[in-house]
Amino acid sequence: MKLRTCTSSCLLALALSGLALPSVSQAASDKPAKTAKAKASKKKTKTPAAPKKAPIDYDGEFVNFGQWKEVKQFLDDLSVRQGFDRAELEATIAKTRYVDAAVQLMKPAPPGKPKNWQAYKQLFIEPSRINGGVRFWNDNRDALARAEALYGVPADIIVSIIGVETIYGANTGRFRVMDALTTLAFAYPLAPQRASRMEFFRQELESTLVYARQAGIDPFSLQGSYAGAVGLPQFMPSNIMKYAVDFDGDGKIDLRSSAIDAIGSVAAFLVAHGWRRDDTGPLAYPATVSSSGQWTRYINQGLEAKFRQQDLMADGIVSTSSLPPGMLFGLVDLQNGADATEFWLATNNFYAITQYNRSYFYAMSVVELGRAIKAARGASM
């Protein structure tokens, strides 16, 4: 979901949220028209260099994927559908390595582990991401203002997503995308929906090869998360092709080193997934629920704001804040382990963020980190 770079803090976050697997969604809206202002800003904002690390996060194991029946069929189909040379495809697959770390990270979480929003929140609403967000905003203020004007997505939400995903480019992942995707496409661990997950990763492997051909790059030069997500915003390869934009106007899309392209691409993705510029209020409103139990029918009703305020109130769901008239909402429950669950009435734009990662915890962490960064930036000016 998008599937993400997973550091030790990310793995802990997944456990606290009760998620076994971040979801992946992403693909290419048309590039925005290059305004005079956009053309004037050709110089890329480079992200600070991260400390030197090993080139990749694993040793890998040689497995002759090309001899696997399913891989042969995949290559046969791919050569026909996408016009690849069959022998070249086989030579490419022969270079990939099996990544056991990716397989282990995809295994379902232990059953019965309670979700804990407050613990999850502390991993992301913390000083390094807040202070880094202020710096990132200041360094890219013009691009963020342009994205907000063009797409209607506030700067604090864009900055927060990049902060949650990769700490503003400090941790974009050190797995070779070809290795990770080939492993997961053909050796996904035993788990519910294994077949559909393998099909998903096969599509992403195909997208990686097509994208590399279109961009004129070596597919093995792409590094990312254990699940194949790339760059500052952690887009899956298919989403780079569908939603990424050349926001710095240099004639190419570069999510790995152009903060400006990442900013425009995050905004474009959210708009393509339902963000509305006219919804200008809070993304979620705190709520209480009655003891009658009628409210439970609003839980797990899809990632969509579709309930009227009067219907929610009739079933004992009341916001502690004033709600905009005529707006639709969804009920979000943020469980806190043994402590009381938090309830929120979520708007359409909150649910647009869940299309980036299908998790209430994720979306609320984006909202709250963005709020904290905005406040810290305002206090420093």
Q: Which residues are catalytic?
A: 165
For the chain, report the end-to-end CA distance as a whole number of angstroms. 35
Cβ-based neighbour number of residue 293 at 10 Å: 10
Q: Which residues are within 8 A (CB) of 350 and not within 5 positions of it... i.e. 6 or more apart?
A: 283, 284, 305, 330, 332, 363, 367
**d(C-alpha 103, C-alpha 206), whole Å:** 19
**d(C-alpha 248, C-alpha 369), whole Å:** 26
E strand residue ranges, the chain: 61-62, 97-98, 175-176, 223-224, 284-289, 307-308, 317-319, 328-336, 339-346
Cβ–Cβ under 8 Å, residues 172 and 223: yes
Q: β-pairing, 317-319 with 328-336?
A: unpaired
Structure tokens at 145: 């203002």
**d(C-alpha 352, C-alpha 202), whole Å:** 26
**Which residues are bridge partners to 46 per DSSP?**
258
Structure tokens at 181: 């995707």
